[in-house]
Structure formats: C-alpha cells, structure tokens
Amino acid sequence: MPILALFAAPAGDWAEWEAPLGAAFAAAGLDVRLVTDADPAAVDYLIYAPPGTVSDFSPFTRAKAVLSLWAGVERIVGNASLTQPLCRMVDPGMTGHMVSYVAGHVLRHHLGMDRHLKRNAPVWDQTPPPHPSDRPVAVLGLGELGRACAAAIAALGFPVTGWARTAKALPFPTDHGEDGLRRVLGGADIVVTLLPRTAETENLLDARRLGWLRQGAVVINPGRGALIDEDALLAALDSGRLGHATLDVFRQEPLPPGHPFWTHPRVTVTPHIAANTHPPTASGVVAENIRRGEAGEPFLYLVDRARAY
Amino acid sequence: MPILALFAAPAGDWAEWEAPLGAAFAAAGLDVRLVTDADPAAVDYLIYAPPGTVSDFSPFTRAKAVLSLWAGVERIVGNASLTQPLCRMVDPGMTGHMVSYVAGHVLRHHLGMDRHLKRNAPVWDQTPPPHPSDRPVAVLGLGELGRACAAAIAALGFPVTGWARTAKALPFPTDHGEDGLRRVLGGADIVVTLLPRTAETENLLDARRLGWLRQGAVVINPGRGALIDEDALLAALDSGRLGHATLDVFRQEPLPPGHPFWTHPRVTVTPHIAANTHPPTASGVVAENIRRGEAGEPFLYLVDRARAY
C-alpha cells in the first residue's frame, strides 16, 4: 500500500513541486502517492509551506510528520493543533541561493558598486576599495545558512567573525552572548543577520545595539524582518551611524508601497528572494525524511518546540 | 655595500610604496637603498610602473632586472632599450582584489541586482534568479588571475569553464583553441575576459566571436580594453545578442567623457579599479625577486619576450 503524502502548501506551488517530489520519491525507492486533497485520517505525511491548505492538524491522526518546505517555521510552530513531529527544510540548494545573495551583496558594498551603477555623469575616480583582508565582516546566526555564508565570505578573503547566542566551534572565528555581540558589531564594516525568528531574536538589532556599530557600517538582512527594529534602523541611517541597509525581509510582506524603506536613499529593498528553495534538492530532503520515518530512524532537521526552530 | 634599487614608477606612487617596500626588504634581510634618482650605471634593480621615470634602459648597464609593479607589461615589453630581465607582478594581494571584482560582478548579474538598485517605484517582483548550478560562467584566460577567479566562482556553486589558447589541466573544466572558444562562448550566461594584451588577444571578442554568445549573455572585462572590438560590442548590445557589458578597462584611459560606453543603458563602466596592486604583498614579491637576483636564483614571473607576457 503506497505511502500517502498530502501536499499542504499553497495550490500555486503545486506546479513547481509535483515533478521534483515525484522524481525524488522514485530515486529513493519510495512508493508515495502525492495528493493535494485526502481524508486526513489516511495521511502519512504532510508537506507544508505557508500559508498552506491546513490550519488544524488534529484530524491527521496517522501522520508521522509535517515536513516544511521552508527553512523558517515561525508561522506554524506555534499552532497548538500541530502535535506531530515538525521538520524544517535545510535545503542544500537553498543554501546555494543564500550564499549567492549574501556574498553578492557583501561584495557589492565592499566594492562600492552602487556609485558605478547609479552614476549620471562620467566620473573616473580610481579610489580603490580596501583589500578584502582589511574589510571585516560579521555574520550573526550560525545555523546551516549562516555557516555556509560565513565560510564563503571567508574564502573570498574577508576576515569573518560569526556570532551566535551560545559558543560554537567552527573553522572561522566566532563570538557569543551579549558581550560578544557588542564586540562583533563594533569590529565589522559589514554585518549580515541570518538568525531564525524567535522570541529571543526579536529586535536583535534595536537602537542600543545599532549604537555599537562602526560609523558607516552596512547591515544586510536576509534573515527575518523581525530581527531589526525598523524605527531604530531608520534613525541609525539618518544619524549616519549606519551607512546602508540592504533588506530582503520585512515585518510586513510585501513591503507596503508607502513604507519609508522604498524611498530611503541608503536602503536597498529586495523582495524576499535571497533564500529560494530549490525544488530538486529540497525534494530530496523530503524524500529522505519519509524514508527515515518509514524505517523508524530519527528525522532530519526536527524542530525543537522549546527553541521554536 | 647596499643594493641600489631605483624606484622608476611615477613620482605620485612613491608615498604609497616607500614604506611597504622598505618593510619587505627588511623582512627579507636585504640591505637595499631605495631611491627615486640615481646614476644609472650604479643601479642594481629598477622597480617600474607605467608611465615611469625611465624610457631608455640602456644606461642601466649594471641592472640585474626590471621589476614591474603591474601585472600587465604591454607598455614596456616592446621597449627595444630594455634588454635586462623583465619580471611582471603576480601579487597575491592583487589576486584578492580581482577575485572580489569578478565574483562581485558575476553575482550582481546573476542576482539581477541592478533592477533593485535602480528601481524608482515600489515593485515586489519575487521572480528568483536560477540556482547558481544552472548559471554557467566562462573565464577566458587562465593565468594566475583567471585561475583564481574561476576557482572562486566555482566555489560559489556556478558551473565554470575556463578557456585558454592552449590546453591546461586545472581543477575545473577547460577548453582551448578557436573551436573551444566557440563552444565556451556558446555555453555561458556570463563571460569574464582575463587575458593579457598581446598581438594574439587583440580583438579576441570581435563581431564574429560575439555572435557565438548566447542571446542576452553578459560580458565582464577586467582584463585589457584591447581584448574587445568596441564597435562590435556596441552593435552586439544594440542587437540584443549581448545583454550587458561591465567594463573596467578601455583602449583609452581615462575613458573619454564623450564615449558611448558612459551613457549606454546596458554598459557599466568602472574606472580600472578591478586589479589594484596591494603594496604590502606586492612589495614582498619585489623583495623575493631581489633576493633571488642576489643569490643567482631564477627570477619569479620572468616575462617571455616572445609571448610578451
């Protein structure tokens, strides 16, 4: 009897996922029936992305797991009806997208690209950027994405310091805790925020901590909008403490047309495109977790409900 | 008796080089007297950058070598009075600058950054770029700089093919010769030109070869202006064959204010800033070559006069 998997992501996502999921199940030797509608009591696995087609998970009495297609699970982890194991997505393909975005915008700010792209008149100003080895970068958040981005930036020759709430041993320098955050923010020209959204990371960059930045530092936020206090960010830009903010994520998405970020001369808005899931690789992760579930092995990337990620 | 080294680069470069060269000589244990003026017959080594303070090298009868501070030697290699060994600069610090520039502009074009930077009105268009693994990049020229750039782009997840006139065995796919150039140009979304300027590379990208590009391909030229036929490039941009050209080097520098590149909507001009020599590391290379010259060992990066680089 085939394994019944309910595709509970938005209907608009089906066209993008049907073929890669089918291919991944076949490659893993799994007999999965993938459907967009089913009797809840018969479903073995739910494949989920917000806002999704399921909000009450209680009728899914047989389901062994809810497998998120998104890395961030803040829109589902607090759902009281969700008592099944919840796995977030750690997609090697998404990591490639995120590394591109972060390395690209770090290099853009390092090289001062904007003045060449926005120039209206011929200017031959050969003032060079510093050498990458003289351009310290901080990466806040050392999960899969933060680590991969930090490693890529370090490989390009930038001195990178990673920061997390707790100490980590990684192949590049790291710091941790509130004192460490002060040191890391004060020691970097470019700061990348790549933490999950949790109660602890809400407003991680508030007015006080933005005040620890070097004069003219740049913040790149491809993590979550809630990591930054928006009013404090605008104030730090206007005071000159913050030189530029490149933001991919916002408290409200799409970013409303009247929001000051759209028109601020030292804010770059990108429309939540940094971390695209890559269906071929992400489908392999879904298939592997179904294989594990069927074999009674521990799931990959199981969400810790206490930490909420 | 100290070794006499004549700083024959432009006078304006002296402030930038005096201290790092002195430090490198001291670190190498060399007793070098570094001067900006000397009796030619007493000079042991010339340290040169164009346009330089020496154009007739024949009175330097004692000089063991002319050590270029520039990677490109096309402005000096044809000087008939220069019979001393000529060494070009292969500066690990310059490599870091060039890798930043090339990786930065590859990522810029990959991510479609320009539309976010030049946007005048709020647009929330989440069309993602392809995954880096679906964005082939070609690097033409596989010297120190080309190899380092190709390796960095490959490490970011892009499929990279390198091209050189003759076959090379490298840790990424390569092709060579005229047939290989056709294959490489036809197989890439982004083409980086990093060849030296020689009689063979003049107009490497002419009208015929630009016609081999994929529709909408991007060319990034941080190599030498003469690698590209400018009129053919403009025609390829206007026909749509070429999607964008990001150019750091030009036949005439500074690029004249009236040149069409300044105003073409699909040309980005950067003012020859991709490959900055990094005086601390380059000075170490100069010191090592003086050490070698004094010890009778072969020089590093000796220019082959027949190949002219």
Q: What confidence tier does A133 reach under pLDDT thresholds 50, 70, 90?
A: very high
Residue pair B107/A107 in contact (Cβ under 8 Å)? The answer is: yes
Residue pair A213/A199 in contact (Cβ under 8 Å)? The answer is: no
User: Under the phi-then-psi rule, with left for phi > 0, alpha for psi from -120 to 50, and beta for the rest, what region is B74?
Assistant: alpha
**Using the beta-carbon criterion (under 8 Å), do B131 and A262 form an inter-chain contact?**
no
Q: What confidence tier does B308 reach under pLDDT thresholds 50, 70, 90?
A: confident
The beta-carbon neighbor of A262 closest among B111, B122, B157 is B122
Residue pair A213/A204 in contact (Cβ under 8 Å)? The answer is: no
Mean pLDDT of A42-61: 96
- pLDDT above 90 for B181: yes
Active-site position among B88, B108, B224, B244: B224
**Using the beta-carbon criterion (under 8 Å), do A93 and B133 form an inter-chain contact?**
yes
Q: Which residues of B touch A157 (CB under 8 A)?
A: 96, 99-100
The beta-carbon neighbor of A126 closest among B97, B132, B273 is B273
Q: What is the pLDDT of residues B92-140, one digit of tens each?
A: 999 999 999 999 999 999 999 999 999 888 999 998 899 999 999 999 9
- pLDDT above 90 for A277: no
Residue A116: the pLDDT is: 95
Minimal-distance CA residue of chain B relative to A256: B122
B62 is a catalytic site residue: no
Q: Which residues of A touch B155 (CB under 8 A)?
A: 152, 155
Compute the distance between CA of residue A211 and CA of residue A224 in angstroms, rounded to an integer.
20
Looking at the complex, report in whole angstroms how far the Cα of residue A126 sits from the nearest Cα belonging to chain B.
Answer: 6
Compute the distance between CA of residue B71 and CA of residue B94 in angstroms, rounded to an integer.
9
- pLDDT above 90 for A72: no
Q: Which residues of A touch B157 (CB under 8 A)?
A: 96, 99-100
Judge residue A128's burial from the number of C-beta atoms within 10 Å of its C-beta, 0-12 exposed, 13-18 middle, 19 or more buried.
middle
Question: The pTM is what?
Answer: 0.89
Q: What confidence tier does B309 reach under pLDDT thresholds 50, 70, 90?
A: confident
Q: What confidence tier does A276 reach under pLDDT thresholds 50, 70, 90?
A: confident
Q: Which residues of A touch B131 (CB under 8 A)?
A: 93, 96-97, 276, 278
B224 is a catalytic site residue: yes
Q: A270: closest CA among A51, A112, A96, A102? A: A102
Residue B71: the pLDDT is: 86
* Residue A254 preceded by cis peptide, ω within 30: yes
Mean pLDDT of B237-264: 96
The residue count for chain A = 309
ipTM higher than 0.85?
yes
Q: Which residues of B touch A257 (CB under 8 A)?
A: 122
Residue pair A188/A136 in contact (Cβ under 8 Å)? The answer is: yes
**Using the beta-carbon criterion (under 8 Å), do B100 and A270 form an inter-chain contact?**
no
Residue pair B109/B220 in contact (Cβ under 8 Å)? The answer is: yes
Q: Which residues of A touch B122 (CB under 8 A)?
A: 255, 257, 259, 262, 269
CB pairs under 8 A between A and B: 129
Q: Which residues of B touch A99 (CB under 8 A)?
A: 132, 156-157
Active-site position among A272, A278, A291, A292: A272
**Using the beta-carbon criterion (under 8 Å), do B124 and A255 form an inter-chain contact?**
yes
**Using the beta-carbon criterion (under 8 Å), do B271 and A126 form an inter-chain contact?**
yes
Sign of torsion over alpha carbons B222, B224, B230, B233: negative
Looking at the complex, report in whole angstroms how far the Cα of residue A118 sits from the nearest Cα belonging to chain B.
Answer: 7
Residue A119: the pLDDT is: 86
Sign of torsion over alpha carbons B222, B226, B227, B232: positive
Minimal-distance CA residue of chain A relative to B108: A104
Looking at the complex, report in whole angstroms how far the Cα of residue B188 sits from the nearest Cα belonging to chain A.
Answer: 18
Mean pLDDT of B257-276: 95
- pLDDT above 80 for A308: no
Query: How does the average pLDDT of chain A come out, rounded?
Result: 95
Distance set, CA A186 to CA A7, A131, A206, A283 (Å):
46, 19, 15, 41
**Using the beta-carbon criterion (under 8 Å), do B124 and A155 form an inter-chain contact?**
no
Looking at the complex, report in whole angstroms how far the Cα of residue B11 sits from the nearest Cα belonging to chain A.
Answer: 17
Residue B236: the pLDDT is: 98
Residue B182: the pLDDT is: 98
Q: What is the pLDDT of residues A197-210, one digit of tens each?
A: 889 999 999 999 99
Residue B139: the pLDDT is: 98
Q: What is the pLDDT of residues A93-130, one digit of tens each?
A: 999 999 999 999 999 999 999 999 998 889 999 988 99
